[in-house]
Structure 1
Amino acid sequence: MARLLAANPSNILIIECAPHFDLDFHKRYIGYYDEQGSFRPGILLQFWELCRNHPHQRFAVVLDNFDKINPETFFGPALWEALSSTSVRQANLGGYRVVVPENCHMLSVTHFGPGGLVEFSGEHFKRLGRPYLLQPNPRELCETLYRRWVNSADTARAAFVRNPARMQTHIFYFLKANQLIARRYGEGYQLGQGSAAREFFLERERDELRRSFLDHVAALTLSNPLTETDFQTIEYTIREDGLAQHSSFFDRLYQLLQDTGYFVEITMVITTAVLTFLIGWWVFRRRERLIRLYGEQAQEVFSSFERQLISADTAAQRLEEIKAEVDALVRRRRLNYTEGLYLLSFIEDKVKRVEFARNVSQNFIELFNAFMEDSVLTRGEYLKLRQFLQLVRHKIPIETYEEFHRKVEQAYSEYHSE
């Protein structure tokens, strides 16, 4: 850039900065006061004087590693304040008039992020100009390797740089490794094209290349260092001839949800839904067992009554006990209102059927005894009893009906057989 601006190497001043030499650089390049108190201009001020003497030429000043020293100390208070002017930038140093020439461009090369001793802020950029971030340049790396090794006696390296596919693989590794570092730590942590990427580019040297990235990051950060496994995705893509690992639709969707933070929310929603379903299913199954248990108990009591294993009074008493237990379950909320109402209705129906069967039995016995007061069952009385049994046949237990039917037939047959 400096050569492009100045067009003449003699019009370029390069200042190599080093840590802890801020005052020394100020005296050497800006100036100092001698024993008589006179100001002696330094190399930079003399260079600016040369620029003013040749207004039709262009000049450049390169401040390499400018982040290693303090810019305010280097320029001094008066000149540093003059650099902030938006019009004519000039200062007076012990009677020596300093004017920053318009035909001189200052270029400072600094480290962005880790490795720099001075962290540049807006005050620095206001005086020195806005920064331009130089990303790792794969084209420069490719061109450098080609020019260096194309005519080399090392046949392996010469063959490598002549093969575009192999060069592309090395460039891919270089770019992807830097992207990995930039995503995790920041752009200032990336490894440039002037690093070990120039030395380790053969396939058999890929372990050394990976190690150079690991050592580079380890030297700049102490927390969350890179590991060998972080490069598995890059090496998988190279082995599979460009097929990226985890590049399917579902893998990319999963990664997108992870990056946006929605994965945690969706996981929480799904987990909550599953837990709610499981708890609801468990409560439902528990209530289902209770409903089945008490329903079967009520049905068993009624079946025993139908088979005349127990009397109507015993059946009614047991059914009332079951109703009391169901009421207690509803009060303790082990059954909800609807379930309790269903069970109570079911049990109440059994109670009514038992009560009805008992009343029918009593009515039949009273009617039968009334007809049999003369010990004779006439045909008219026989038909009335048959009609009565037919009316209540489906409302009383079948065993009771058959018993009454046999009793009527037996009484009628005894009279008519004589």
Structure 2
Amino acid sequence: MNRLIGFMALVAVALFSPVAHAQDAEDNQASAPVLQVTFDETEAVPGQSLSLRLTVLVPTFMPEPPIWPTMEIPNVLVRLPEGSTGPTSDRVGSETWSGVTRHYRISPMVPGSFSIPPQDLVVTWSDPETNEPIKTTVQTGEIAFTGVVPEGAEGLNPFIAAQDLRLQQQVVGDPQSMTPGGTLKRIVTAHVDGVPPMFVPQLIVPQDLTGLASYPDEPSVDETDDRGVPGGTRTESVTYVAESGGGGVILDVSIDWYNTDTGNIETAVAEGFEIKVDGPPAMLVKDRDWRLIALIVVAGLVGLIILLLLGRRLMRPIRRWHDARHANYLASERFAWKELRQVIGERSYVGLFPALDSWADRMDGGRSTRKARGAASDLRVGRWSLWPASTGHSGVAALEAARGGTVRCAVREHRQGCRSGAAAAKSRPLERLGQNRLHPAL
């Protein structure tokens, strides 16, 4: 009997265990966070917004705020209006769950089809049984929408749709009586309703005006939100500085736009004006050929590099040539003659005979012989003294080559003590030179 009861209990457990597990899974699923996505409209004019709302609900409460997805993709503007995130509650089954909702404004910036891929939303909520925080990730589905251009507005470039668009202009200065050095400032402001001001295109285009330099400022964009309706202003300004006589016509600022309320294409205009600068015109300067200048600079650098490289290779041969030429000059009769005349001019007894020997050894007829004879002639006139002080004449006295002979022989005979025949006659002037060394004529 006991065995029968035990067997029946096992059968009951086996039969009812799957039902219990299924009930637990259903209860856990029923208590998991719920994500609601509300996206009613799927088409919008570029610049106009579509409303997307995400609501996450939990059976208990959220100790931390949810981590929301950005929903950003290329060529789509995603904005969060004022008060976009706030608490909410809703019924899930037979219970009322608490949650948080977030409102996105999604605007296609260009015509075309767009798709936001599934996005993750992280929720931190309290476990119903343990009251411990639990992190759960829920995911949105794919969100698709289209940017369409209204009929009749296909030619707008750039395309801008708004409830209202108007231009306001301010000119600081007198454009009709400018002088060189004077300034004038133009300020243009675009006011828009029903579209963010970032959709407004550039207002003031650059211009080249004779005698004027223009300095534009950075554009200023100020957004507003009036009960969910976007709007704001875009302000641009440029300062004109008169540099010389001249002037020109400042162009109109014109924007064609699509009125979403009326369905018509309208035009906003800020009228241009003329600027006159009284003064002499600027001198015309021919345009410089920068390519030619760059070519000349590059060629010069290449030439300089080549000269440096060749200079390093040619420096040693040039230096050897210069040293050899200098050595030849030092060994020449010309240098010895210069040194001899310097010794005579300085009245140096000690250096006289070494200088004579050096010059005589290097003399080889021709021009050098004529120099010797000229100096001997100075001696014949009666100045046996080598350096008379009365006239200051630095004649090369005592260099008489006896009877047209060379000085080399006379010097050698004097230094070696030769006294035979003509040699004695040749050395006689040098003997007197020796006497003059002891008794110079003053």
> Hey, which of these two has a bigger chunk of helix by percent?
1
- Same-fold call, TM > 0.5? no
Normalised by the length of structure 2, the TM-score is 0.25
Normalised by the length of structure 1, the TM-score is 0.26
